[in-house]
Amino acid sequence: MSASDSPVSNDLFNRALKLIPGGVNSPVRAFRSVGGTPFFTQSAKGARLTTADGRELIDYVCTWGPAIHGHNHPAIREAVAEALERGTSFGTPNPYEVEMAELIVDMVPSVEKVRMVNSGTEATMSAIRLARGATGRDKIIKFAGCYHGHVDSLLVKAGSGALTLGNPDSAGIPASFAGETIVLPYNDLGALQLAFSEHPEKIAGVIIEPYPANCGLILPQTGYLEALRELCTRHGTVLIFDEVMTGFRIAPGGVQEKTGVTPDLTCLGKIIGGGLPVGAFGGRADLMDHLAPLGPVYQAGTLSGNPLAMAAGITALKLLREGDPYKRLESSAKQLAIALKLAAANLGVALQVPQAGSMFGLYFADKPVTNFDEALASRTELFKPLFQCALDLGVYLPPSAYEACFVSTAHTVNDIARTAEVLTSAIKQISE
Ligand code: PLP
């Protein structure tokens, strides 16, 4: 999509650049790693975005994960409209919060009690504080390439935008904060065992994206998550699954349902908001009861449990529980992964397309990527022309080599077939 095709977006971006740092309210939206000017979205419906210049794009970003039912789903819109009639925020408990808690507890295996927050970042920040408060320990373990939002102590070797922009460690974080964070390679059991033996009774929690999806998409090797669970139990360390991305996407109960590995705490976000700003963290009741007002771990939020956001999220979760679209979602993602692999193989391009449920990633690499270093070693320079070529042909992939692609229930058989065609021709173009 050239600059001359997008005069309205370009004008908006020029205005935004003067007023908003980098012209965007979240860095990866600036298209820095794929080049060009970001398009502005005027409206979105189903699997499609309509740009401010009137172009329709088949969308595989799905608002970075939440839009599992596609954009502007009529049932979610209706639920929000109905809630709106009653008011936008009360500052008291409201009935939606109870229904939301019941749904989450019912659907997510590890969650006995849950607290709502306003973003995934708040969820991980609060879960870490809870792990520290409950254990009386300070250190936490995270894994290179896993992104848990922009929490100070977790923005160390993070994925997502921090990785794309080449500044995994942000300015403004005291070294002493990051000093309590031990960063380990994913899928390396030896490194995990060593960390536990070097810091006996010091590690409050281990936070992990059970399927890391902020540096592409990496899957656990057989037995890895099970061994992590066993080590945490043995050392009295709180195991936190960050399922902000994978929760309700990989299965109704996320990766923990899929693998049978149950964490102590779970962070949620994205899909549970149905497109509105929501996060949640929950887990074992005895741990959650350390939170104020029952316990000494403070955590709060003016808009937490907001009725509009709850109404949207409840509807999104019910659609998943009642419609059980997971097989169909997975088959669409699989079809795209197969098309990409076939196109690459025919043209001699080394491409890996890891896929889990309705998510897939792309690595220009000879063999499957099992950790962050291998993700970094992939030929990311090939992603930029692939992205641009797909965009020219009407398919919007995430504007970074390190983000996962998402399929929604609104992607039709025709959308998938058209996308397979577009990606095949994009691979052809970059291989020439
Ligand atoms: N955790 C994971 C796994 C994420 O993918 C993200 C965001 O992409 C977050 C946490 C942070 O969520 P939010 O952007 O809502 O703060």
ipTM of the complex: 0.99
With a cut of 60, say whether residue 95 has pLDDT above it. Answer: yes
pLDDT number for residue 163:
63
Structural domain spans, the chain: 3-60+325-431, 74-323
Mean pLDDT of 384-406: 96
Cα 401 to middle of ligand 1, angstroms: 17
DSSP states of 369-393:
--SHHHHHHS-GGGHHHHHHHHHHT
Class of domain 74-323: alpha beta
Mean pLDDT of the chain: 95
pLDDT number for residue 23:
96
- CA angle (278, 209, 47) in 5-degree steps: 55
Atom of ligand 1 nearest to the CA of 243: 3
Full strand arrangement of the beta sheet holding 359-360: 355-356, 359-360, 405-406
Cα 346 to middle of ligand 1, angstroms: 36
pLDDT number for residue 167:
53
Mean pLDDT of 179-204: 95
Q: Where are the beta strands (DSSP E) in 245-292?
A: 265-269, 279-283
Cα–Cα dist 359/148, whole Å:
18
Mean pLDDT of 355-375: 97
Nearest to 140 by CA among 246, 262, 240: 240
Tokens (6 digits) for 265 = 């705490």
- Within 6 A (CB) of ligand 1 lie 64, 119-121, 124, 147-149, 160, 209, 214, 242, 244-245, 269, 279
Whether the model clears a pTM of 0.95, i.e. scores above it, the answer is yes
- 168 band by pLDDT with thresholds 50, 70 and 90: low
With a cut of 80, say whether residue 157 has pLDDT above it. Answer: no
Cα 149 to middle of ligand 1, angstroms: 5
Q: Residues 6 or more apart from 229 whose CB is under 8 A from it?
A: 239, 261, 262, 263
What confidence tens digit (pLDDT) does each residue in 14-45 have? Answer: 999 999 999 999 999 999 999 999 999 999 99
CATH T-level topology, domain 3-60+325-431 = Aspartate Aminotransferase, domain 1 (3.90.1150)
Q: Please state, for a pLDDT cut of 90, what percent of the chain lies above it.
A: 91
Q: Which of the residues are catalytic?
A: 147, 242, 270
pLDDT number for residue 218:
98
Cα–Cα dist 314/360, whole Å:
26
Higher pLDDT, 116 or 164: 116
Residue type, 420: A
With a cut of 80, say whether residue 1 has pLDDT above it. Answer: no
Is-same-fold flag (3-60+325-431; 74-323)? no
- 205 band by pLDDT with thresholds 50, 70 and 90: very high
With a cut of 70, say whether residue 161 has pLDDT above it. Answer: no
What confidence tens digit (pLDDT) does each residue in 318-353 have? Answer: 999 999 999 999 999 999 999 999 999 999 999 999
pLDDT number for residue 285:
98
What confidence tens digit (pLDDT) does each residue in 251-303 have? Answer: 999 999 999 999 999 999 999 999 999 999 999 999 999 999 999 999 999 99
Tokens (6 digits) for 358 = 């309705």
Tokens (6 digits) for 30 = 């600036």
- 154 band by pLDDT with thresholds 50, 70 and 90: confident
Atom of ligand 1 nearest to the CA of 124: 10
